[in-house]
Copies of this chain bind each other. A is one copy, B any other.
Amino acid sequence: MNKLEQGFVQIYTGNGKGKSTAAIGQAVRAAGFGLRTYIAQFMKEFPYNELNSLKYLNDWIKIEQFGGDEFVYKKELPGKDEVEKAKKGLQTAKEKMLSGEYDLIILDESIVAIYFKLIKTEELIEIISKKSKNVELIFTGRYCPQELIEVADLVTEMKEVKHYYQKGITSRRGIES
């Protein structure tokens, strides 16, 4: 039974920290109200630590990963296998959305996945078009195309004002990943 009277389409984009964590925090808040969330993560094969803690909330939150981002570091476009994994992620997220079992559907890093040609803007717009009234859809990732902003209800840009990358710090376990 969906409990959301009115679901919307949310976007977290921009070059700042906090896009994926905001989506996770949103799922955790929703769980506290008994809402169920499905999260598909794109370009995140690496075992992000949220996978461990969200297990404790698995009555409400289900999270799955569809492909990695190694090609970014190799400065290549993704190979066929990565495109296939992303396609599967999209298909799965759509099925979960249509199943009626979830109140929130989060496609984490799906927007940057467009930028890297893993998926197409139109594919996300198609998912939006099939959303029922009481489902909330959340997309995250930098480089959001204007077409997607136009069809979303809430768009937040996480803007980097200051970052310790400048101090030579890269990624810390438990914080950045």
With known contacts A16-B157, A28-B24, A162–B169 Cβ distance under 8 A: no
With known contacts A53-B28, A149-B161, A152-B162, A33–B173 Cβ distance under 8 A: yes
Q: Which of A28-44 contact B (CB under 8 A)?
A: 28-35
Q: How far is the CA of A16 from the CA of B28 in the complex (A)?
A: 19
With known contacts A50-B25, A50-B29, A56-B56, A35–B161 Cβ distance under 8 A: no
With known contacts A162-B154, A174-B33, A25–B16 Cβ distance under 8 A: no
Most buried by B among A17, A29, A57, A162: A29
Q: Are B149 and A155 in contact (CB under 8 A)?
A: no
Of all chain B residues, the one with the shortest Cβ separation from A167 is: B153
With known contacts A31-B53, A34-B174, A158–B48 Cβ distance under 8 A: no
Q: Are A49 and B29 in contact (CB under 8 A)?
A: yes
Which 10 pairs from chain A and chain B are nearest by CB?
Answer: A21-B25, A33-B174, A32-B49, A32-B52, A24-B25, A18-B22, A25-B25, A16-B156, A155-B161, A32-B53
List chain A positions with a Cβ less than 8 A from chain B.
3-6, 8, 10-14, 16-26, 28-35, 48-54, 56-57, 60, 103, 136, 149, 152-164, 167, 169, 172-175, 177
